[in-house]
Structure 1
Amino acid sequence: MAEYLRLLEPIVSPAQLEKTKGIIKQFAAPNGLGPQLHQYLVEKRENEDNWAYYYWLNDMYMDVRLPLPINSNPGMVLPPRKFLVATDLARFSARVIFEIMKHKEMLLSGALEQERANSREKNQPLCMAQYYRLLGSCRRPGLERDSQYLPEEREEEHVIVICRNHMYCVPLKAPDREKLNVNEIASQLTFIIGDAPCMAEPPPVGILTSAPRGIWAKDRNTLLLEERNQRNIELIEQALIVLCIDEPLPGSFNSEGFFGSTPTMHRTGHRDETNMAHEMIHGGGSSFNTPNRWFDKTMQIIVCNDGTWGLCYEHSTSEGIAVIQLMEKIYKEIDTTPFDSTGSQQHLPSPERLEWVIAPEIARRFTLASKEANKMIDNLDFFVYRFKPYGKSFIKSCKVSPDVYIQLALQLAYFKIYGHLVTTYESASTRRFLLGRVDCIRSATTEALEWAKAMCQDEGANITLECDQGLEEPQDSRKVKFSIYSKDHLRELFRCAVARQTEIMVKNILGNGIDIPLLGLRESSREVTGSLHELFTDESYAIANCFLLSTSQVACSTNSFMGYGPVTPRGYGCSYNPHPDEIVFCISAFYASGDTSAARYGKSLKESLRIMRDLLED
């Protein structure tokens, strides 16, 4: 409770903080409900592998009713390929599938290497469960709560390929022998690439998976009334992966709103990285590739005929680290091993195209789902920004963790725009514990606020300045620059903010964060008393759990990146990937907010990183 009050200090009003102190005093008293709930969790811990896992999974994913694209599923862009003809796309996609088959075999053989912590109590073993959930898994919509389909070992293995909204089942083993080779898979994909354009336009069943979860659950139940549809959905959910063969989005797709000129955008051919990210996150809308998806599927690998490729992944089964490691392993293997075109190729039956039985109510839903998906996509304000002046090499020379440094830059950037800090989420891995996923590093600290105020001492009339020299803010609109704090004092405030951020980070990864215990107390309050204690209906709790800034470090060893949407209508999403000499940011907001702008935040972030270098470089 002491730590909870500490996190509230910079984000709630003094009056609200005093009210919450009174609630906590009553909750935490020896005869209060708090100790009783704590003991309930202690006993739960003794009887379960991980007392928090299902509380966390349901709160973070299964109970959320929002659509998966943008709101939940991240998109990853990998270094583009060069395709001259359709067979190039087929061969590359076949190699991706073949590497996934090899990875699955490695998992089944027990050869996956045990990972261990490389910092803070080094060498502790890390839970590897996430790595086994990626292939063959799927999220299933429910009317009130979703569920997961997790794979069992099966003799029959297949992938689902979606091309021009047509769905095909491609077996990965021949009836008379073991797995297909790359050439045989490529021949199956070549058939699909040639067949799909010749067929009548299919029902866009995939668009239904972009709907709010309760609505999609109803549509899925209607589809399942037909035996043929039951089999189709079973094939999709049990597939190793879904491969989406896409048409590229127009080069100008949603390209307005960037700050600066062309040099701020890293281009590959005729498409910038922001455009490619849109392709992976949501597909571009009902007229483009959004129906060419099955958003429930854990691994949707997307390959465009212009060489752009990456994936959209359903987040509930795994954090980004397992997905990124798998995708970069595939990329490096393909990039370093020449394609062997000499492999034997036996005649195989053509892949089965899935046919759907569409009831009238489902036909009407296609139109509505398309409109809602387009509205959602048009609302996404997103771009990829490469900050090139410096990267983690300079940050390390300042004897600061790159992650801590960037988190403080994100706080400063927000403060420079709005004059205050907001509840901030950064994921912290808890894989040192069985079934551990993440807890929340809260970067909006009192120490960060004091530093940000001092750094912005000569900016904006909306920022209150504390000055012992009698200087007052100008009453007119002219911007008067003056200095209150010395560089040494600013550096000292920065070091205090770094120390606090580091302390919170270490507590989280060692299992001493507060968000999971708070969640446990909240859920045990429901289970023990049948209702929520006032602590969890208090306005402070709502503010503390409305993450207007949702962030994560998504480290890639290749020139890849991953991005996602905000988690609240008035918020920002920001992933970052620090390289030695640059930092890649994926910044998102919603146009409908009216008060947020990805470009404006990116511009403030650029300026914040610049003045932080000026503060620290000498």
Structure 2
Amino acid sequence: MSEYLRVLKPIVTTQHYERTKNIVKQFSAHPGPKLHQYLVDKREAEDNWAYNYWLNDMYMDIPLPLPINSNPGMVLPPRKFTTVHDVARFAARIIDGILEHKELLDSGNLPQERAASREKNQPLCMAQYYRLLGSCRRPGIEQDSQFLPDLQNKNETQHIIVCCRNQMYCVVVKADQIGKLSEDEIFSQLLYILSDAPCLPKLPPMVGLLTAEPRRLWAKDHETLLLDAQNCRNIELIEKSLILLCLDELLPPAFNARGFHGASSSAHFTGDRDETNMAHEMIHGGGSECNTANRWFDKTMQIIICNDGTWGLCYEHSTSEGIAVVLLLEQILNKIDEIPSPEENGITPQHLPPPERLEWIIRPELEKRIQQARRDVDKRIEDLDFYVYRYQAYGKNFIKSCKVSPDVYIQLALQLAYYKLYGFLVSTYESASTRRFLLGRVDCIRSASSEALEWAKAMCQGEGANVALESDKEDEENSRKVSFSIYNKEQLRELFRTAATRQTEIMVQNILGNGIDIPLLGLREASREVEGDFHELFTDECYKIANCFLLSTSQVACTTNSFMGYGPVTPRGYGCSYNPHPNEIIFCVSAFYSADITSATRYAKSLQDSLDIMRDLLEN
């Protein structure tokens, strides 16, 4: 409870804080201890007392559509394709790599990972690696659920679903009669799909668009689909497929970055596309006129390969964290790059029957729903303000020379960038892995500390906020009049060190299992289960403010020149993932155009300014 109050202090008003302090005092006397004991008893009875609480709160109970709001998109280094054969060959090699990985999982020989820092060598839970292939999220009227693979049934026929031009095909990749398909055989099946889909006489029903709906709407449409046996079989094939492979068309230049002067986000092009355009392709597909219907957003892994060489994935987040997906795809990519491409002579194996194309039965009411879903998803995509920004003045090499953890440094830069824009800090989420615990996923590193606030204030002395809310304009005018310096460079460095020390403490607390968000969630759910309703602590205004993450962040470290991005988690907020390299940092910044107070490019510019002045403060 004392840590909870410490979290609140920099992000709420004094009046709110004092009121919550009294609620905390009362809760700590009763019923807090009783609820805590309830969780202790639960811990003894279950593998992980928090897992289902966390899963439901983070994913299964959330009614928002998956694209933009939940599913991250990852862009991997673009390829060079000159013919349709190149597309099919690369896709075949990716599938072949996934089948090899599936064999490794089935053998039980997946190497045990161990903690690399902070109580080194502790074993890490590997459960989420086994959920990547063959899993799917299911919509529910009250609550979503998960379809997870049967890890005991290792001899089951294995297949993938391939989406091309909004058509869906089932490709059997392993069966008793045929064994595991070779790379050439997979290539042949994909080549058939790439030539068949464009030649079909009529447009298919855009069933994939329904998976982009708000979850409770999709649950109702899902039930309508299941009224027909053929649709039931299709959905079962999709759910049980190892992955979804989406063979896409390129997005128009309208999705390119709207950058700020001097920004380097467009440095890496494929034809007329920049990296922001590629990220849009992975996150949502570009709308109903582009590739959004060429998806099944409930599917854990949707690998996306575009005919211009852009590729990556969109993944449903509830089964695993980004680390499992990144490691798998980068490992496969490294193997592909080590082997030479074969000479394509036009002769491909023909002994396999062609892949089955899925046919849907669409009742008239569903046709209307698909048209509505089409309009709604296009509107949401139009509202996404997304920007891929490469900061190239320095990277983690310089940060380490300052004797600071790159993650701690970048988190403080994110706080400073926000403060420079708005003149205050907000509730900030950074994911921290809790895999040292069985079924552990993440807890929340709250970077908006009092120490970070004091340092940000000092760094902005005399500036005032660059962009203010209407109610803050008078305060902003007053703050701009203050132009004298209060802190010298040495004092600013000391404030930075204090903020960095505090940020490090919060990070270590979380990864060692001593974060506050999971226990708070447990106490909240225990309050409902034991007392019959939520205690005032969990209906209090401060609790709402603390859990409305206007800045949602995560480090997604990739060994290749890749990056992952996602939308904000609240309408007036920012999403910001980052990938620090030795001499640059890639940021994926998101906001919504409909929120007039946010701007992805403005935040990226503020980040650039913040990182520049931090270098000036700390170098030498």
Say yes or no: TM over 0.5: yes
The size of the alignment, in residue pairs, is 607
Is 2:406 the counterpart of 1:376? no
Aligned-partner Cα distance in 1 for 2:574–2:476: 32
Residue equivalent to 2:444: 440
User: 1:508 is paired with a residue of what secondary structure?
Assistant: helix
User: 1:156: which partner in 2?
Assistant: 157
| Residue aligning to 1:564 | 566
Change (3 A) 1:45 1:475: closer
Q: Take 1:297 and 1:76, find their aligned partners in 2: how far apart are those partners?
A: 15
Answer whether contact 2:231 2:360 (CA < 8 A) is retained. Answer: yes
Alignment gaps of 5+ in structure 1: 465-472
Secondary structure of residue in 1 paired with 2:390: strand
Residues 257 and 265, structure 2, Cα contact 8 Å, conserved in 1: no
CA distance in 2 between counterparts of 1:477 and 1:99 reads 58
**Alignment of structure 1 residues 209-248 onto 2, 5 Å:** 209-248=211-250
Deviations 1:469-510 (A, max 9, x none): xxxx99799877432211010001000000100000000000
2:25 match = 25
* CA-CA distance at 1:463 after TM superposition: 11
List per-residue Cα deviations over 1:387-435 (Å, max 9, x = no partner).
Answer: 0000000000000000000000000000000000000000000000000
Residue 63 of structure 2 corresponds to 65
Query: Secondary structure, in 3 states, of the residue corresponding to 1:594?
Result: coil
Counterpart residue number, 1:486? 488
Q: Compute the displacement of 1:23 (Å).
A: 0.5
Shift in CA distance, 478/76, structure 1 to aligned 2, threshold 3 Å: closer
Q: Aligned equivalents of 2:35 and 2:513: distance in 1? A: 19
Aligned counterpart, 2:15:
15
Q: Which residue does the alignment assign to 1:49?
A: 47
Q: CA deviation at 1:42?
A: 0.4
Shift of 1:530: 1.1
- Contact conserved, 2:420 with 2:466, CA < 8 A, in 1? no
Match of 2:392 in 1: 388
2:509 to 507, 514, 518: 507
Change (3 A) 1:36 1:308: same
Partner of 2:84: 86
- 1:122-521 to structure 2, matched below 5 A, reads 122-152=120-150, 153=153, 154-173=155-174, 176-199=177-200, 200-253=202-255, 255-256=257-258, 258-261=259-262, 263-269=264-270, 270-340=272-342, 345=349, 347-460=351-464, 481-521=483-523
Q: State the SS of the aligned residue for 2:220.
A: helix
Counterpart among 596, 601, 604 of residue 599 in structure 1: 601
CA distance in 2, matches of 1:293, 1:111: 32
Distance 1:463 1:594 in 2: 11
> Which residue type is aligned with residue 146 of structure 1?
D
User: 260-269 or 111-120, which moves further after superposition?
Assistant: 260-269
Distance 1:539 1:476 in 2: 29
State the one-letter code of the partner of 1:397.
S
Alpha-carbon distance, 1:265 to partner: 1.9
* Residue identity opposite 1:140 in structure 2: R
Q: Output the aligned Cα RMSD.
A: 1.8
Aligned to 1:108: 106
CA distance in 1, matches of 2:546, 2:466: 23
Deviation track 1:111-137 (CA, whole Å, cap 9, x = no partner) reads 110000010000000000010000000
Distance 1:197 1:566, change over 3 A: same
2:94 maps to amino acid: V
Distance in 1 between residues matched to 2:233 and 2:425, nearest whole Å:
51
State the distance in 2 between where 1:504 and 1:174 align.
Answer: 50
Contact 2:256–2:273 (Cα < 8 Å) also in 1: no
Q: Secondary structure at the match of 1:490?
A: helix
- Separation in 2 of the partners of 1:482 and 1:138? 58
Check whether the contact 1:183–1:341 (CA below 8 A) recurs between aligned residues: no
Which 5+ residue runs of structure 2 have no aligned equivalent? 469-474
8 Å contact 2:5–2:21 — kept in the other structure?
yes
- Quote how far apart the aligned CAs of 1:363 are: 0.4
Counterparts in 2 of 1:542 and 1:198: CA distance versus 1, 3 Å? same
Counterpart-to-counterpart distance in 2, 1:78 and 1:419: 36
- How far residue 254 of structure 1 moved from its aligned partner, in angstroms, is 5.2
Does the CA-based 8 Å contact 1:5-1:21 persist in structure 2?
A: yes
Asked whether the 8 Å contact 2:265–2:388 carries over to 1, the reply is no
State the SS of the aligned residue for 1:159.
strand
Q: Deviations over 1:335-358 (max 9, x none)?
A: 111234699935110100000000
CA contact (8 A) 1:474 1:480 kept: no
Partners of 1:478 and 1:49 in 2: CA distance: 55
Q: Which amino acid aligns with 2:60?
A: M
